[in-house]
Amino acid sequence: MDIFIDLVLIGLSNGGIIALNAVAVTVIYCAVRTLNLAHGDVYALSSVMTMVVLRNILPLDGPPSWSQLIIGLIVSVISTIIFGMVFSMLIEFLGFRLFRGQSRLAPIIATLGLSFMLYQLALVWRKLLPTFSAGEHRSVPGVDELPRDVVPHVFPQLDVFQALGINTTSRFDIKDLFIIVCAPIAAYLVHLLLNHTKIGRSIRACAQNSLAAQMVGVNLNGAIRAAFAIGGALAGIAAFIFAITVERPVANHGAQSGLIAFTAAILGGIGNPIGALASGMLIGMFAAFSDYLLDGRWTPALIYLLLVGLLMWRPSGLSPEERVSDLSQQTSDVVVLNATRASAALRPSAILINLVPLALLYPLIVPLIGEYYLPVVNSFLIYVVLALGLTILLGFAGVLDVGYALNFAIGAYIMAYMTGPAMAWRDQLLGFVPDGLIVFPVIILITGCLGIVKGWITSRMRIDYLAIATLALSLMMRDILKNSGAGGVGGFSAIPPPTLFGVHFNNFTMQYLLVLGLVAIIVIGSYRLLNSRTGRAMAAMREDEYAAQSSGVNVAFYKSVSFFIGDSIAGLAGGLYASMLSFAEPGLADFQVSVMVLSMVAIGGIGNITGAVFGVFSIMGLDRIVIPFIQSLMGEQPFVQFTLRELNFLLFGLALYFSVFVSRRFKSKTEN
């Protein structure tokens, strides 16, 4: 019973933090009905703000005086709330208002780019902070304390049970009580604000029917701006409470950092702060019991599975109000329509004419550029394969797969299992290492079938829910690969080079010709697909799913087809990557890989096959050639204490955001 009580209290405490952030998510999502992938960064950065203020007011080497404590808490909570409001309103302007009335995909991709920029800001800010703690290292006498992000002690070491005279071995800290009390108060106040104030009713009216709300005098921009301000303030409060109770800032930055809060918001019903509170508490207790009864390593994967299950159960939202709103606010999901149409005009034979001299010139250029660029160029082509698969998914079918790297990692692991050294099951089952004629079709078939499963899971989901579901599936698979016996965190190494028809492609030139040939086949197939009946059905589905379905297009079927084609190409790229670079690891399924490929596709024009190739060479050329070259000219001297390599996330974010922004301007001009 004592263990049970401990787990419940831990779950309620952790759930209170989740609930506070989920209430912020539900207010913002209620207003715009589109996923804000940058909200988690606002929450994480706000906790850093709390740490900075408290560290400059309160002492680290001893208890503060009452005056210091009161002043520090007041200044830090006000600063954090203002910080969260400002950044949230900035995201509303840059990520939503500029794209209002445009594609529903545009704000999602824009906030994804903003999320990476804020992630870069977090890395810069945390590195510049003077986070050295005085004293010696606890485990190594005589060695100074390592730099740590520590928030000064605010709460006394007090056991509530002991103070109340309750005889139990369980412990209930005063700071846990503070969280459990603050969460319901915040949820109830937001409930009152949404239901009993003018601004709250305006937010709800715009969420239900923005056009009707404007007809009766509601200021749409003002209501949405107010929702983001309230959500940012709540994120600041949640970050403040987390920082002073856990005594460190939030460590999880990036778009995936808001997934658990979004799960709680979905479970509680969008626009329902009381429901978000209850679901946040339930998720906190679920995590606590999972950590104790199963294994803490599997808890995030189980929560991601819970999120996908919820979205499958209610693909248009849990509340009837949200489902009605989804039907009444459908817009086109095309980001760049003209680029797709222009691509169709180029004949596949022209691609071959351009590829042949490229293939012939490569061996001649290699002695001039140096041995370093041999594997670099090959990796470029592997990412071209990967980008072409996402072009089919996103550009042709309008399916935003934010977890696209999932099948990339699976393809690499299949290659490792089928051709890697010391695979006992393979030797017992086959007795030989299979040729690429067997391995590559197996990779394409397995990853393509997984794509069909992914398509079936997400077939009825709206576009933003589909994005979050694919992200959750990718992160879940990464955790499974990391925690299972499939190589563990380190993955597999010493994977032999690819083999076809008994020929070992064991030098860079042969590997180059192999991948170049596959790129040519995929490019030609993509153009054929674009002009086929299936391609036209995908285009209709991309423009408007409801209109396509009413015209006889089987949306679920063609979505599964697009997933099969796109994910099988991603699996093929993963197999090539593992065999040519000789390793496979769980990090291949990371969110950053998916975003990097999305940046490549977006910068060349979503749906533009030639643009995807250009985007790969732009991003990869900048990352692998330009940055190392500039860094070598600069020497070891950093740029404002940072090397250019440490600013990669800023570059990805800018590429994503400005590609969508330029697409919006281009689309507006063509419409005019």
* Residues whose CB falls within 8 Å of the CB of residue 99, separated by 6 or more in sequence, listed in order: 106, 107, 110, 660, 664
* Tokens describing residue 130: 């003077």
What pLDDT is attached to residue 669?
47
What pLDDT is attached to residue 442?
93
User: How sure is the predictor about 408, in pLDDT bands with cuts at 50, 70 and 90?
Assistant: very high
* Residues whose CB falls within 8 Å of the CB of residue 415, separated by 6 or more in sequence, listed in order: 439, 443, 495, 574, 575, 578, 579, 584
Contact of 274 with 63, CB cutoff 8 Å = no
CA distances 36 to 231, 259, 401, 427, 589, Å, are 11, 11, 16, 49, 22
* Tokens describing residue 114: 């903003």
* Tokens describing residue 560: 């599964």
Q: pLDDT for 477-511, tens place per residue? A: 888 888 876 666 778 888 888 888 888 888 888 88
Q: Which fold does the domain 2-131+172-328 belong to in CATH?
A: ABC transporter involved in vitamin B12 uptake, BtuC (1.10.3470)
User: How sure is the predictor about 91, in pLDDT bands with cuts at 50, 70 and 90?
Assistant: very high
Q: How many CA atoms lie within 13 A of 384 on its CB side?
A: 25
* Residues whose CB falls within 8 Å of the CB of residue 53, separated by 6 or more in sequence, listed in order: 72, 75, 76, 79, 80
What pLDDT is attached to residue 367?
63
User: pLDDT at residue 319 above 60?
Assistant: no
Q: pLDDT for 565-624, tens place per residue? A: 999 999 999 999 999 988 888 888 888 888 888 888 877 777 788 788 888 888 887 777
Strands (E), 338-386: none
Percent over 90 (pLDDT), the chain: 18
User: How sure is the predictor about 330, in pLDDT bands with cuts at 50, 70 and 90?
Assistant: very low
Show the DSSP H helices in 94-138 as ranges.
105-128
Of residues 502 and 148, more confidently modeled: 502
Q: Is the dihedral of CA 474, 475, 478, 480 positive or negative?
A: negative
* Residues whose CB falls within 8 Å of the CB of residue 427, separated by 6 or more in sequence, listed in order: none
How far from chain centre, in Å, is Cα 129?
Answer: 26
Three-point CA angle 29, 35, 40, nearest 5°? 90
The residue extents of the domains of the chain are 2-131+172-328, 348-589
What pLDDT is attached to residue 335?
42
How far is Cα 406 from Cα 472, in angstroms, rounded to an integer?
Answer: 10
Query: In 3D, which of 160, 137, 166, 132 has the Cα closest to residue 148?
Result: 132
* Tokens describing residue 381: 């082509």
* Tokens describing residue 386: 């990967």
What pLDDT is attached to residue 513?
84
Q: pLDDT for 334-361, tens place per residue? A: 444 334 443 444 455 555 566 666 666 6
Q: What b-and-e string marks burial along 321-334, b requiring 16 or more CB atoms within 10 Å of the CB?
A: bbeebbeeeeebbb
What pLDDT is attached to residue 638?
52
Contact of 21 with 258, CB cutoff 8 Å = yes
Reported as type and span, the H/E element at residue 668 is helix 648-671
The whole-chain average pLDDT of the chain stands at: 80
Q: Is the dihedral of CA 204, 206, 208, 212 positive or negative?
A: positive
Contact of 190 with 234, CB cutoff 8 Å = yes
How far from chain centre, in Å, is Cα 145?
Answer: 34
